[in-house]
Amino acid sequence: MEIAIKNVKKVTKNHSDINGITLNIKSNEVIGVIGADGAGKTTLMRLLTTYYSPDDGEILYDGVSIYKDKSLYKSNIGYMPRANPLIENMSVNSFLKFVAKASGMPQYLIPTRIMDVLRECHLEVDQNSPIKYLSRGAKRRVGIAQAVIHRPALLLLDHPTAELDPKQAENIREIIKTQTKGRTTILCSQNTTDIWEICSRIIFLNKGVVTADTSIEELKELKYNTPVYKVILSPSEPQEYITEILNLKGVEKVECNKGAAYVYTNSTDCITIERDIFELCMERGWYINNISKLELTNEEILKRHLYNL
């Protein structure tokens, strides 16, 4: 299923607005949408589920408006909201049976499909337990199971690992990886590990606007080819050197912390940058105690894109 979002705008009461987004999502792409609270991630998801209607613009699936035949469109999407609402007095098995029937799945297919989903989502042991007695991580697995039980072409996951401990989050990510195969997936998260490990393409949202749209491969190239340099000079306070270091070609930002200048670069020409920093220090008579190249973390790479640092 291909999705086209064309100049969509939406104003909500909580000010998590969408301000003219245009995106084209190809069939079977796994898209990560990342941004701070209030960036518009959940609003975008609610637009894609038809819970919200755009104030302007349009959303198409395979070239057709999602509102032309809303029932047909919704039968082809699976959705796990951030709140992950479940009928907690029901057992896992009964709940999945209820969801499968509600999705219009033929009765004769339901038992086999439930067993498949229980296995895929690691819920076989819990299948007869009331949902209310499950751990938070297990409830998330039920949320994923109900989203995929009818084999949707489009899977929408809103903050799937929110409020989970690291082990639970890792388990959820592994399940999601298996469920994205063969279907278009859009995943919203503030968890950089979710985005980095699961998605092939990343959309950066800030105040309802797309600030960057890039592939994970491009980010990996940025990670290894645009390093940060830690420069320690004498006297130890580098604040007075910031302006001149910033003027060097390829330097994007300079931060001071505990007597060191952290020089962020936006160039792949590492040899020239190192030489220019060294030559500037020599010209100004600044004594270099140490200069070292640091590797950016995945989180730092994503934040640089998100906030255009």
Can you give the residue ranges of every domain in the chain? 3-220, 226-306
pLDDT at 211 exceeding the cut of 50? yes
Q: Which CATH number fits domain 226-306: 1.10.1740.10, 3.90.1150.10, 3.40.50.920, 3.30.70.100?
A: 3.30.70.100
Range scoring the smallest mean pLDDT among 82-91, 121-130, 178-187, 255-264: 255-264
Phi and psi at residue 137, to the nearest 5°: -65, -40
pLDDT band with cut points at 50, 70 and 90 for residue 237:
low
pLDDT given at position 302? 75
Task: Please give the Cα distance from 98 to 93 (Å, whole number).
Answer: 9
Range scoring the smallest mean pLDDT among 185-189, 268-272, 301-305: 301-305
Residue 252 corresponds to which tokens in the numbers above? Answer: 């994007």
Are 251 and 221 in contact by the 8 Å Cβ rule? The answer is no
Where are any strands of DSSP class E within 117-182?
Answer: 154-158
Residues whose CB is less than 8 angstroms from the CB of residue 73 and which lie 6 or more positions away in sequence, other chains included: 50, 61, 64, 66, 67
The 3-state DSSP class for residue 166 equals helix
Annotation: CATH topology of 3-220: Rossmann fold (3.40.50)
pLDDT given at position 309? 42
pLDDT given at position 236? 57
Q: What percent of the chain lies above the pLDDT cut of 90? A: 61
pLDDT in tens, 28-67: 999 999 988 888 999 999 999 999 999 999 999 999 999 9
The 3-state DSSP class for residue 173 equals helix
> Quick one: average pLDDT of 130-139?
97
> Quick one: average pLDDT of 135-145?
97
